[in-house]
């Protein structure tokens, strides 16, 4: 019989082309699924406990530090240091006293004016670091 591929009894033999196709499809599947793997990360955050504050437990009161465009600094509405002072000894002393008295659990919120000098913001951050403030945020 002309045109027949196999032998007379119908045995075609071992075909390698379909095997290679299946291996490539499996390899493509595993490569695509490996790229879509999601890596679980851990976030370290303090969530509120839901229990009410007891009489021995004090509430945290945020300390707000405002920085104006001219370099004046106000801590909870009280003026601190002169606008041209870089070391900010009054602010450092105020923050250090708060950390010593309340254990540093009161958050410090820095509110710079949009026109405030970036160096002045860094001066405030240096004063907070010198006072060992651990909870600081920007607003």
Q: How far apart are CA 54 and CA 34, in angstroms?
A: 51
Confidence category of residue 104, pLDDT binned at 50, 70, 90: confident
Mean pLDDT, residues 26-38: 83
Instruction: Give the per-residue pLDDT at 123.
Output: 92
Domain residue extents for the chain: 63-138
List Cβ neighbours of 109 (8 Å cut-off, separation of 6 or more).
Answer: 62, 63, 64, 65, 136, 137, 138, 139
Mean pLDDT of 26-37: 84
Q: What pLDDT is stored for residue 83 in this prediction?
A: 86
Q: What is the average pLDDT score of the chain?
A: 83
pLDDT greater than 50 at residue 81:
yes
* pLDDT tens-digit map of 47-63: 677 665 554 456 778 89
**pLDDT score, position 34:** 80
Q: What is the pLDDT of residues 122-131, one digit of tens each?
A: 999 999 999 9
pLDDT at 42 over 80: no
CATH architecture, domain 63-138 = 2-Layer Sandwich (3.30)
The percentage of residues in the chain with a pLDDT greater than 70, rounded to a whole number, is 79
Tell me the CA distances in angstroms from 116 to 42, 53, 75, 113, one per residue in order: 36, 38, 16, 5
Under DSSP, is residue 84 helix (H, G, I), strand (E, B) or coil? coil
Residue 55: what pLDDT? 44
Q: What is the pLDDT of residue 15?
A: 86
Residue 11 has pLDDT above 70, yes or no: yes
């Amino acid at each position: 019989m002309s045109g027949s591929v196999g032998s007379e009894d119908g045995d075609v033999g071992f075909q390698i082309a379909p095997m290679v196709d299946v291996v490539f499809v499996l390899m493509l599947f595993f490569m695509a699924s490996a790229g879509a793997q999601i890596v679980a990360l851990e976030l370290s955050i303090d969530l509120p406990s839901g229990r009410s504050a007891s009489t021995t437990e004090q509430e945290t009161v945020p300390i707000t530090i405002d920085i104006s465009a001219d370099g004046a600094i106000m801590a909870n509405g009280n003026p601190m240091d002169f606008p041209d002072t870089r070391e900010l000894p009054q602010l450092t002393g105020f923050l250090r006293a708060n950390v010593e008295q309340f254990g540093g659990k009161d958050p410090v919120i820095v509110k710079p004016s949009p026109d405030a000098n970036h160096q002045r913001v860094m001066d405030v951050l240096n004063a907070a670091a010198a006072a060992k403030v651990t909870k600081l945020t920007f607003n």
